[in-house]
Amino acid sequence: MKEIFKEQLSQLKENPGRAFGLVYPFMLIIGLTIGIYYLSHLDSVARQSIPPKLQDTATTTDLPLIEAKSIPPIDVISINNPTDELVQKGKQLYSANCASCHGEDGTGNGPAAAGLNPAPRDFTDSTNWKNGMKLVNIYQTLEEGINGSGMIAYDFIIPEEKFAIAHYIRTQFIPNPPQNSNDDLAALDLTYNLSQGKEVPAQIPVAAAINLIVSENQSTVQKAEQIVNAIDNDKSSEGAGIFNRVTKNPLQAVALLSSYSGWKDKESEFIKALTSNVRVNGFNREVFLLSEDDWTVLHNYLRKFF
């Protein structure tokens, strides 16, 4: 044993490259261990350690509540003139709607301006306007807002008021504001249909509409339940007896009868309603066995409830 070891050692001294041969089996064992570990843990190795980000689609925005209103037509040529009346009106509207960001002095330092990026426009600085300083440009900014900024579209301010605010900003804050050409005004008129005026129909949020429909139907269902209960409690009456015999689902049957009133005054309509789509309409096959007298009794009996 000792001999062999000595021999190997001396051979190694002569030829150090042989060391690789000795190391080789170890490499093999290490490789195999890693391989086996990998295979036995394939499940967790393959699994992504970073969970995928799913966009939350559960939150949706609903339609805004809009009051019906009629927007008076506007003559763009005359509204281009900043009368005192318009400017005064603009001043009030500006204080109420714009000063929180743009500041009472128009320099963009209002209390709500902090942290806004981009910052609200300083109207006294005439560089880098996105839409521009002309009356038509400011009108467009108010109609459409500025994408990707705190400057929203002011839908609820009617056109005449938008012009009033724009005049106020121009006369009060902007040094030497550029004038509109008649072409500018004509183009603005075309874009926003200003000379035609507009009737804005009322709109309610979808969620509110659904609530309305549900509550309306709830009262129908409640009424139907009351009728079914009343018939159920009316043990002695012949009409109630016939009704109970010919119905498969009394609530459905009553719902059918409350859905339209054409059957009330015409027995033939009544018979038609009950004998078409039997089973789906809440009645059963017994209706085909009713005598003429039975029909009349049932008809007269049910009429009282609707």
Nearest to 259, CA basis, from 288, 230, 223: 223
Q: Total binding residues for ligand HEC by CB under 6 A?
A: 25
Using the minimum distance from each CB to ligand HEC, give the nearer residue, 164 or 297: 164
Give me the least distance between CB of 120 and ligand HEC, in Å please: 4
**Among 80, 100, 109, 275, interactor with ligand HEC by CB under 6 A:** 100
Using the minimum distance from each CB to ligand HEC, give the nearer residue, 146 or 158: 146
Residue pair 163/114 in contact (Cβ under 8 Å)? The answer is no
The binding track of 104-133 with respect to ligand HEC, each residue x by CB under 6 A or -, is --------x---x-x-xx-------xxxx-
Nearest to 167, CA basis, from 124, 138, 128: 138
User: Cα–Cα distance between 101 and 196 in angstroms, integer?
Assistant: 33
Question: Quick one: which segment of 3-11, 52-60, 140-148, 295-303 binds ligand HEC (CB under 6 A)?
Answer: 140-148
Considering only residues 151 to 190 of the shown chain, the ones binding ligand HEC according to CB under 6 A are: 151, 154, 165, 169
Nearest to 134, CA basis, from 98, 169, 158, 85: 169
Residue pair 253/302 in contact (Cβ under 8 Å)? The answer is no
Contact between 150 and ligand HEC per CB under 6 A: yes
Q: Count other Cβ atoms within 10 Å, centred on residue 256.
A: 19
Q: How far is CA 82 from CA 79, 104, 125, 224, in A?
A: 7, 20, 21, 64
Give me the least distance between CB of 149 and ligand HEC, in Å please: 4
Residues at the interface with ligand HEC (CB under 6 A): 97-98, 100-102, 112, 116, 118, 120-121, 129-132, 137-138, 141-142, 146, 149-151, 154, 165, 169
